[in-house]
Amino acid sequence: MKYMNISNYNFFRHLSTKFCEIFSVLVFALVAFNTPLNAQEVQTNILIPKSHSSLADGVLLGDFSTLNPLNKPGDNFDLLDWSLTLPTDLNKDKKADTVYEKSLDQGFTLKPFFYTADDGGLVFASPNVGAKTSKNTKYARTELREMLRRGNSRIKIRGLTKNNWVFGGAHGSMKAKAGAIEGSLEGTLAVNRVSTTGDEKKVGRVIIGQIHATDDEPIRLYYRKLPANSKGAIYFAHEINGGDDVWINMIGSRSHKLSDPDDGIALNEKFSYKISVKDEVLFVTIIREGKPNITKHYDMKDSGYSSGNQYMYFKAGVYNQNNEGADGDYVKATFYHIHNTHNKYKF
């Protein structure tokens, strides 16, 4: 019987060890790459723009000292580049009523849905069940829609017109037709009430800011407070054009079984948000008095909003995300600052 000499034995032992090391690396790689990551973990090499990084920690956006409780909304806020969707159908056309720019600018008010609060803020309220904008819409709203045309009714509302804006990656011909390129929306508000009845998966949800595209929504910013909790969560959805939603938590989470979120936002507590698109990247900052700011982002270059005939507009107000529950249930928020800015837009 022949025996393996020492040098051969050591060689095969060394080879066996190397195979084990390689196998371990492969197993680790398979586990790592098959573990789901949220969008924020995947996108790490994004530089936060100065328009967000320079925001002072804990300092709310806007100057509230000029708000006069005796004024109509159009006197306290520049509403000439907004239209308003209401949860009413006063003309019985089976669609939500719309109030256009000039009427808003000249002082339109309609209690209990849209009016000046006792502290000068602008109140938005919407019932769970109300008129909707179309057959495809599930929920009612009292919500502003950005109108860059500023009352010039010769400019069409929808489409690649001077009323809407586009992403920076859009074709030059799209940029030439649009009213602006990318931009920011700022809001300072207090959510005063959320829905408390109905489907537990819908209770307490309200959208307080959006970017709407041709059909889909690059961002829907949510506030949610559950009935048993004293504080609410903030999160947003990014909808891939023609695809699924990507969810990103900012404070707490969107879960309908969430206990009080750490450092959550209570009803009637003022806070600010800033939503920006820069170089096709979405940035969202949340500001609370005396606390560190929270900024998150999502790279939208592969989301399909720079091609075709995609156009954008901001929205702000309350978009009730509960369409069930007891009669009289509703959402309400008071805004103290609403400001939209864009490249190529001088107002």
Same domain for 277 and 188:
yes
Q: Are residues 74 and 200 in the same domain?
A: yes
Cβ neighbors of 222 (< 8 A, separation 6 or more) are 205, 206, 207, 208, 233, 234, 235, 236, 237, 254, 321
Task: Give the model confidence (pLDDT) of 35-75 as tens digits.
Answer: 334 444 445 678 999 999 999 999 999 999 999 999 999 99
Using CA atoms, how far residue 112 sits from 86, 90, 133, 296, 332, in Å, is: 11, 14, 19, 34, 10
Give a yes or no: residue 167 inside a domain. yes
15 lies in the same domain as 120: no
Q: Within this chain, do residues 25 and 111 fall inside the same structural domain, yes or no?
A: no
Has residue 12 been placed in a domain? yes
Q: Does 23 lie in the same domain as 161?
A: no
Location of structure tokens 């819908």 = 202
Reported as a pLDDT band with limits 50, 70 and 90, residue 135 is: confident
pLDDT tens figures, 251-298: 999 999 989 998 999 999 999 999 999 999 999 999 999 999 999 999
Q: Is residue 43 part of a domain?
A: no
Cα(334)–Cα(120) distance, integer angstroms: 9
Segment 308-317, tens digit of pLDDT = 899 999 999 9
Average pLDDT over residues 4-12: 40
Q: Is residue 286 within 8 Å of 276, Cβ to Cβ? A: no
Q: How far apart are CA 13 and CA 25, in angstroms?
A: 19
CA distance 211 to 108: 24
Q: Examine residue 71 and state whether it is found in any structural domain, yes or no.
A: yes
Number of domains in the chain: 2
pTM: 0.88
Q: Are residues 282 and 199 in the same domain?
A: yes
Residue 44 falls within a domain, yes or no? no
Judge whether 92 lies within some domain.
yes
81 and 228 housed in the same domain: yes
What stretch of H or E contains 145?
strand 141-146
Say whether both 176 and 292 belong to one domain. Answer: yes
What integer pLDDT is reported at residue 44 of this predicted model?
61
Does 18 share its domain with 63? Answer: no
Q: Which domain holds residue 19?
A: 1-35
The whole-number pLDDT of residue 178 equals 97
What CATH number is attached to the domain comprising 54? 2.60.120.200
Task: Please report which confidence band the pLDDT of residue 107 belongs to, taking 50, 70 and 90 as the band edges.
Answer: very high
pLDDT at position 331: 98
* pLDDT tops 60 at residue 165: yes
Per-residue pLDDT band at 4 (split at 50, 70, 90)? very low
Q: What mean pLDDT, rounded, does the chain reach?
A: 90
For residues 175 and 135, which has the higher predicted lDDT (pLDDT)? 175
* Co-location of 138 and 226 in the same domain: yes
Task: Report how far apart, in Å, the C-alpha atoms of 259 and of each of 116, 232, 253, 255 are.
Answer: 34, 10, 10, 9
Q: Per-residue pLDDT averaged across 160-174, rounded?
A: 97
